[in-house]
Structure 1
Amino acid sequence: MRERSLEAIEGDAWGDAPAGATRLISTVHELRRKAIGTLAVEDLRVLIGQRVGVAVLVPLALDILERDPLAEGDFYPGDLLSVVLRRVPADYWAGYPGESGRLDAVIAAVDLDEVEVDELRAVLGDFRSAGEG
Protein backbone atom coordinates (compact mmCIF):
# COMPACT_ATOMS: atom_id res chain seq x y z
CA MET A 1 0.00 0.00 0.00
CA ARG A 2 2.92 2.38 0.60
CA GLU A 3 3.55 2.57 -3.15
CA ARG A 4 0.05 3.95 -3.74
CA SER A 5 -1.01 7.58 -3.45
CA LEU A 6 -3.77 8.98 -1.27
CA GLU A 7 -5.77 9.56 -4.44
CA ALA A 8 -5.46 5.87 -5.36
CA ILE A 9 -6.15 4.59 -1.84
CA GLU A 10 -9.17 6.83 -1.31
CA GLY A 11 -10.39 6.50 -4.91
CA ASP A 12 -10.77 10.27 -5.09
CA ALA A 13 -8.65 12.16 -7.62
CA TRP A 14 -8.59 15.87 -6.90
CA GLY A 15 -6.59 16.78 -9.98
CA ASP A 16 -4.62 19.99 -10.20
CA ALA A 17 -5.18 22.78 -7.72
CA PRO A 18 -7.58 25.45 -8.97
CA ALA A 19 -6.13 28.48 -10.73
CA GLY A 20 -5.00 31.07 -8.22
CA ALA A 21 -4.82 28.54 -5.37
CA THR A 22 -2.51 29.27 -2.48
CA ARG A 23 0.84 27.53 -2.23
CA LEU A 24 -0.57 25.38 0.58
CA ILE A 25 -3.53 24.21 -1.50
CA SER A 26 -1.26 23.49 -4.47
CA THR A 27 1.09 21.53 -2.23
CA VAL A 28 -1.76 19.44 -0.79
CA HIS A 29 -2.98 18.60 -4.30
CA GLU A 30 0.55 17.55 -5.31
CA LEU A 31 1.14 15.48 -2.18
CA ARG A 32 -2.09 13.55 -2.66
CA ARG A 33 -0.56 12.14 -5.86
CA LYS A 34 2.73 10.96 -4.29
CA ALA A 35 3.18 7.40 -3.10
CA ILE A 36 2.50 7.53 0.63
CA GLY A 37 5.70 5.58 1.34
CA THR A 38 7.71 8.45 -0.14
CA LEU A 39 6.12 11.19 1.96
CA ALA A 40 8.63 13.03 4.15
CA VAL A 41 7.98 14.29 7.68
CA GLU A 42 7.11 17.72 6.30
CA ASP A 43 4.69 16.20 3.80
CA LEU A 44 2.88 14.31 6.57
CA ARG A 45 2.84 17.46 8.72
CA VAL A 46 1.22 19.45 5.92
CA LEU A 47 -1.39 16.84 4.98
CA ILE A 48 -2.38 15.93 8.54
CA GLY A 49 -2.41 19.61 9.42
CA GLN A 50 -5.02 20.10 6.69
CA ARG A 51 -6.87 16.97 7.88
CA VAL A 52 -6.28 15.30 4.53
CA GLY A 53 -5.93 11.51 4.46
CA VAL A 54 -5.91 11.24 8.25
CA ALA A 55 -6.97 7.57 8.41
CA VAL A 56 -4.19 6.61 6.00
CA LEU A 57 -1.45 8.94 7.18
CA VAL A 58 -1.67 8.88 10.98
CA PRO A 59 -0.31 5.31 11.19
CA LEU A 60 2.65 6.40 9.04
CA ALA A 61 3.21 9.45 11.24
CA LEU A 62 3.11 7.22 14.33
CA ASP A 63 5.73 4.92 12.77
CA ILE A 64 8.04 7.94 12.54
CA LEU A 65 7.12 9.31 15.97
CA GLU A 66 7.77 5.97 17.65
CA ARG A 67 11.34 6.14 16.36
CA ASP A 68 11.75 9.88 16.96
CA PRO A 69 9.00 11.63 18.97
CA LEU A 70 10.48 15.02 18.09
CA ALA A 71 10.72 14.34 14.34
CA GLU A 72 10.99 17.65 12.54
CA GLY A 73 9.44 18.97 9.35
CA ASP A 74 10.21 22.53 8.27
CA PHE A 75 9.32 24.34 11.49
CA TYR A 76 10.75 22.92 14.72
CA PRO A 77 11.67 19.70 16.49
CA GLY A 78 8.38 18.00 17.32
CA ASP A 79 6.27 19.78 14.69
CA LEU A 80 4.90 16.46 13.39
CA LEU A 81 3.86 15.41 16.89
CA SER A 82 2.33 18.83 17.45
CA VAL A 83 0.14 18.58 14.35
CA VAL A 84 -0.91 15.02 15.24
CA LEU A 85 -1.92 16.18 18.73
CA ARG A 86 -3.69 19.34 17.60
CA ARG A 87 -5.25 18.48 14.23
CA VAL A 88 -6.28 14.81 14.30
CA PRO A 89 -9.95 14.76 15.30
CA ALA A 90 -10.99 13.04 18.53
CA ASP A 91 -13.33 10.75 16.61
CA TYR A 92 -10.31 9.31 14.77
CA TRP A 93 -8.70 8.27 18.07
CA ALA A 94 -12.03 6.85 19.31
CA GLY A 95 -12.36 4.77 16.16
CA TYR A 96 -8.76 3.52 16.24
CA PRO A 97 -7.94 2.61 19.85
CA GLY A 98 -4.74 0.84 18.81
CA GLU A 99 -3.45 4.01 17.22
CA SER A 100 -4.51 5.98 20.29
CA GLY A 101 -2.41 3.63 22.42
CA ARG A 102 0.55 4.15 20.13
CA LEU A 103 0.16 7.92 20.53
CA ASP A 104 -0.01 7.57 24.30
CA ALA A 105 3.28 5.65 24.24
CA VAL A 106 4.90 8.35 22.08
CA ILE A 107 3.72 11.08 24.44
CA ALA A 108 5.03 9.15 27.46
CA ALA A 109 8.43 8.78 25.78
CA VAL A 110 8.94 12.52 25.34
CA ASP A 111 11.22 14.20 27.87
CA LEU A 112 9.59 17.61 28.33
CA ASP A 113 13.00 19.09 29.17
CA GLU A 114 14.06 18.33 25.57
CA VAL A 115 11.05 20.13 24.05
CA GLU A 116 12.20 23.53 22.80
CA VAL A 117 8.82 24.95 21.79
CA ASP A 118 6.56 26.21 24.59
CA GLU A 119 3.37 25.49 22.65
CA LEU A 120 4.33 21.83 22.12
CA ARG A 121 5.38 21.50 25.77
CA ALA A 122 1.95 22.84 26.82
CA VAL A 123 0.04 20.53 24.47
CA LEU A 124 2.02 17.53 25.71
CA GLY A 125 1.34 18.53 29.30
CA ASP A 126 -2.38 18.80 28.56
CA PHE A 127 -2.45 15.35 26.94
CA ARG A 128 -0.54 13.82 29.84
CA SER A 129 -2.91 15.43 32.35
CA ALA A 130 -5.98 14.25 30.43
CA GLY A 131 -4.60 10.71 30.43
CA GLU A 132 -4.25 10.72 34.20
CA GLY A 133 -7.91 11.59 34.78
Structure 2
Amino acid sequence: MKKISILLLLCGAIFFTACKEKTIAQEVRVLTPQEFKDSIENNPEIQLLDVRTPEEFAEGHLVDAENINVMESEFLTKVEKLDPEKPVYLYCRSGRRSAKASALLKEAGFKEIYDLQGGFLEWESNGYKAEN
Protein backbone atom coordinates (compact mmCIF):
# COMPACT_ATOMS: atom_id res chain seq x y z
CA MET A 1 0.00 0.00 0.00
CA LYS A 2 2.84 2.37 0.84
CA LYS A 3 4.46 1.75 -2.56
CA ILE A 4 1.22 2.50 -4.38
CA SER A 5 0.80 5.78 -2.46
CA ILE A 6 4.34 6.86 -3.31
CA LEU A 7 3.84 5.90 -6.96
CA LEU A 8 0.58 7.88 -7.15
CA LEU A 9 2.26 10.86 -5.51
CA LEU A 10 5.12 10.77 -8.03
CA CYS A 11 2.73 10.42 -10.98
CA GLY A 12 0.72 13.38 -9.71
CA ALA A 13 3.87 15.51 -9.36
CA ILE A 14 5.00 14.62 -12.89
CA PHE A 15 1.54 15.34 -14.30
CA PHE A 16 1.31 18.68 -12.47
CA THR A 17 4.78 19.73 -13.67
CA ALA A 18 4.00 18.77 -17.27
CA CYS A 19 0.72 20.71 -17.22
CA LYS A 20 2.38 23.70 -15.60
CA GLU A 21 5.04 23.87 -18.34
CA LYS A 22 2.41 23.78 -21.06
CA THR A 23 0.59 26.77 -19.60
CA ILE A 24 3.59 29.12 -19.57
CA ALA A 25 2.31 31.04 -22.58
CA GLN A 26 -0.92 32.95 -22.15
CA GLU A 27 -3.84 32.45 -24.42
CA VAL A 28 -3.54 34.45 -27.61
CA ARG A 29 -5.52 37.67 -27.31
CA VAL A 30 -7.37 38.79 -30.41
CA LEU A 31 -7.66 42.58 -30.46
CA THR A 32 -9.98 44.82 -32.44
CA PRO A 33 -8.19 47.22 -34.79
CA GLN A 34 -8.72 50.05 -32.27
CA GLU A 35 -7.31 47.99 -29.36
CA PHE A 36 -4.41 46.86 -31.55
CA LYS A 37 -3.66 50.44 -32.63
CA ASP A 38 -3.78 51.74 -29.05
CA SER A 39 -1.52 48.93 -27.84
CA ILE A 40 1.18 49.30 -30.46
CA GLU A 41 1.24 53.10 -30.15
CA ASN A 42 1.67 53.05 -26.38
CA ASN A 43 4.16 50.22 -25.98
CA PRO A 44 7.77 50.61 -27.15
CA GLU A 45 8.60 47.06 -26.01
CA ILE A 46 6.49 45.31 -28.61
CA GLN A 47 7.58 43.16 -31.52
CA LEU A 48 5.29 43.80 -34.49
CA LEU A 49 5.07 41.01 -37.07
CA ASP A 50 3.43 40.93 -40.46
CA VAL A 51 3.15 37.23 -41.30
CA ARG A 52 2.04 37.70 -44.92
CA THR A 53 4.13 37.14 -48.04
CA PRO A 54 6.85 39.65 -48.97
CA GLU A 55 4.73 40.69 -51.96
CA GLU A 56 1.74 41.52 -49.74
CA PHE A 57 4.03 43.32 -47.30
CA ALA A 58 5.43 45.47 -50.15
CA GLU A 59 1.91 46.55 -51.12
CA GLY A 60 1.35 48.02 -47.64
CA HIS A 61 2.02 47.23 -43.98
CA LEU A 62 1.86 48.70 -40.50
CA VAL A 63 4.58 51.16 -39.54
CA ASP A 64 7.64 49.41 -38.00
CA ALA A 65 6.34 45.90 -38.78
CA GLU A 66 8.81 43.13 -39.50
CA ASN A 67 7.84 40.73 -42.27
CA ILE A 68 8.21 37.02 -41.45
CA ASN A 69 6.06 34.88 -43.75
CA VAL A 70 4.30 32.17 -41.72
CA MET A 71 4.03 29.99 -44.84
CA GLU A 72 7.83 29.77 -45.22
CA SER A 73 9.54 26.67 -43.91
CA GLU A 74 12.02 28.94 -42.06
CA PHE A 75 9.30 30.73 -40.07
CA LEU A 76 10.26 29.18 -36.71
CA THR A 77 13.97 29.72 -37.37
CA LYS A 78 13.35 33.39 -38.08
CA VAL A 79 11.15 33.98 -35.03
CA GLU A 80 13.85 32.46 -32.80
CA LYS A 81 15.61 35.84 -33.20
CA LEU A 82 12.73 37.51 -31.34
CA ASP A 83 12.51 37.81 -27.56
CA PRO A 84 9.87 35.41 -26.17
CA GLU A 85 9.65 37.55 -23.02
CA LYS A 86 8.46 40.65 -24.93
CA PRO A 87 4.94 41.06 -26.32
CA VAL A 88 4.41 40.02 -29.94
CA TYR A 89 1.71 41.70 -32.00
CA LEU A 90 0.97 40.07 -35.33
CA TYR A 91 -1.33 40.29 -38.28
CA CYS A 92 -1.89 38.90 -41.76
CA ARG A 93 -4.39 39.78 -44.48
CA SER A 94 -7.62 38.58 -42.84
CA GLY A 95 -6.71 36.66 -39.69
CA ARG A 96 -6.22 33.04 -40.78
CA ARG A 97 -2.45 33.01 -41.18
CA SER A 98 -1.93 35.09 -38.04
CA ALA A 99 -3.97 32.52 -36.09
CA LYS A 100 -1.60 29.84 -37.39
CA ALA A 101 1.42 32.00 -36.52
CA SER A 102 0.00 32.67 -33.04
CA ALA A 103 -0.28 28.95 -32.37
CA LEU A 104 3.31 28.40 -33.52
CA LEU A 105 4.59 31.26 -31.36
CA LYS A 106 2.67 29.98 -28.35
CA GLU A 107 4.15 26.52 -28.90
CA ALA A 108 7.61 28.11 -29.15
CA GLY A 109 7.18 29.63 -25.68
CA PHE A 110 6.24 33.25 -26.38
CA LYS A 111 4.45 34.63 -23.35
CA GLU A 112 2.36 37.52 -24.72
CA ILE A 113 0.77 37.15 -28.14
CA TYR A 114 -1.73 39.57 -29.65
CA ASP A 115 -3.48 39.02 -32.98
CA LEU A 116 -5.21 41.72 -35.06
CA GLN A 117 -8.87 40.77 -35.54
CA GLY A 118 -9.71 40.80 -39.23
CA GLY A 119 -6.09 41.39 -40.21
CA PHE A 120 -4.74 44.10 -42.48
CA LEU A 121 -8.03 44.30 -44.39
CA GLU A 122 -9.87 45.30 -41.21
CA TRP A 123 -7.06 47.70 -40.26
CA GLU A 124 -7.40 49.54 -43.58
CA SER A 125 -11.20 49.51 -43.52
CA ASN A 126 -11.01 51.42 -40.22
CA GLY A 127 -8.88 54.08 -41.94
CA TYR A 128 -5.70 53.47 -39.96
CA LYS A 129 -2.27 54.37 -41.32
CA ALA A 130 -0.15 51.92 -43.29
CA GLU A 131 3.21 52.25 -45.06
CA ASN A 132 3.88 51.29 -48.66
User: TM-score, normalised on structure 2?
Assistant: 0.28
**Structure with higher helix content:** 1
**Structure with higher strand content:** 2
User: TM-score, normalised on structure 1?
Assistant: 0.28
Larger radius of gyration: 2
